Amino acid sequence: MIEVRELTKRYGDTAAVDGLSFRVEPGHVTGFLGPNGAGKSTTMRIVLGLDAPTSGEALVNGRRYATLPRPMRAVGALLDAGAVHGGRSAFDHLSCLALAGGIGRSRVAEVLEAVGLTGVARRLVGGFSLGMKQRLGIAAALLGDPGVLMFDEPVNGLDPEGVRWIRELMRALAAEGRTVLLSSHLMSEMALTADRLVVVGRGRLIADTTVRELTGRYPTLEDAYLALTAGSVEYGAAR
Ligand SMILES: Nc1ncnc2c1ncn2[C@@H]1O[C@H](COP(=O)(O)OP(=O)(O)OP(=O)(O)O)[C@@H](O)[C@H]1O
């Protein structure tokens, strides 16, 4: 479970996250939605201990990340698929992460297989396409077999087969009883993948609900999203 409690993160005058509270429960795919700059990545970074909150807290299984005894076994995440050392092979990249996290080497082959990269495991990551890097990032998130998973825009750059694969993977992980938080701007895909939704705008909570509830009230999830966030779009083009 992920719990975000009264979380605020300021960068100078900008409140990237502003008094945000929500819970992400196990057994569901929870979509994390909001316009560009709404604070989704900042929230995920704080959950992972990569950024410190200005106030409030973010907990994984009731603990702050820094106090988790075996963090890679508790929570895995794909935040920025491009943030990998291009001079290493996929196998070596994952082996380094496994070593750092106290995870056996046999798991590396398992996660490479799970994301479909076994055939290119010895190739340098620098030559990978964006979609291959996304798959590698997902393999890294799965390394510790964690109960909590967060994915920031995982379908970015994936081909239609890859998009369907992500959808099925997210749903399978949730069906295993894991907590899955997924951010994406693709509403049609979110409607097919998520059960629950947390919608944020300008760092604040706009809605904490289900896909079913919103699609019952609006023709599509996209219509619902655009209506909910209409007052919170910061970087929209002039019309
Ligand atoms: N390290 C930083 N320094 C200064 N400002 C930052 C930093 N990180 C994020 N911000 C600002 O905080 C706000 C929230 O950014 P964040 O990346 O969390 O939004 P997001 O919802 O993930 O957006 P997107 O959908 O575009 O990825 C933005 O205004 C951003 O410019």
List the beta bridge partners of residue 149.
76, 180
Question: Which ligand 1 atom lies nearest to the CA of residue 44?
Answer: 18
Angle at the Cα of 60 (from 15 to 169), degrees rounded to 5? Answer: 100
Q: Which residue in the block uniquely carries the two structure tokens 């967060």?
A: 150
User: Which uninterrupted H or E stretch holds 73?
Assistant: helix 71-74
Closest residue CA from atom 26 of ligand 1: 36
Q: Taking the domains of the chain in order of start, what are their residue ranges?
A: 2-232
- Single-letter code of the amino acid located at 212: R
Give the number of the atom of ligand 1 that is nearest the alpha carbon of residue 34: 21
Among protein residues, the one with the nearest Cα to ligand 1's atom 25 is 36
Whether residue 62 has pLDDT greater than 80: yes
pLDDT digits (tens, 9 = 90+) for 90-139: 999 999 999 999 999 899 999 999 999 999 999 999 999 988 999 999 99
CA of 171 to the centre of ligand 1 (A): 28
Q: Which residue has the tokens 């798959």?
A: 135
Q: What is the CA radius of gyration of the chain?
A: 18
**Upper half-sphere CA count for residue 7 (Cβ side, 13 Å):** 31
**Using CA positions, which residue lies closest to atom 18 of ligand 1?**
39
Q: How confident is the model at residue 238 (pLDDT cuts 50, 70, 90)?
A: low
* pLDDT in the model for residue 237: 64
Residues with CB under 6 A from ligand 1: 11, 14, 16, 34, 36-42
What is the best residue among 33, 42, 50, 206 to mutate for testing ligand 1's pocket, by most ligand atoms within 8 Å of CB? 42
In the prediction, which pLDDT does 239 show?
52
Q: Minimal CA–CA distance to 4: which of 195, 152, 190, 204?
A: 204
Task: Give pLDDT, residue 210.
Answer: 97
Distance CA 172, CA 28 (A): 10
Superfamily of domain 2-232: P-loop containing nucleotide triphosphate hydrolases (3.40.50.300)
Distance CA 187, CA 209 (A): 15
238, two tokens: 């002039």
For the chain, strand residue ranges (E) read 2-11, 14-24, 29-33, 55-60, 75-78, 148-152, 179-183, 196-201, 204-210
Say how far apart CA 208 and CA 193 lie, in whole Å. 16
Q: Give the distance (Å) from ligand 1 centre to CA of residue 116.
A: 31
3-state secondary structure (DSSP) of residue 225: helix
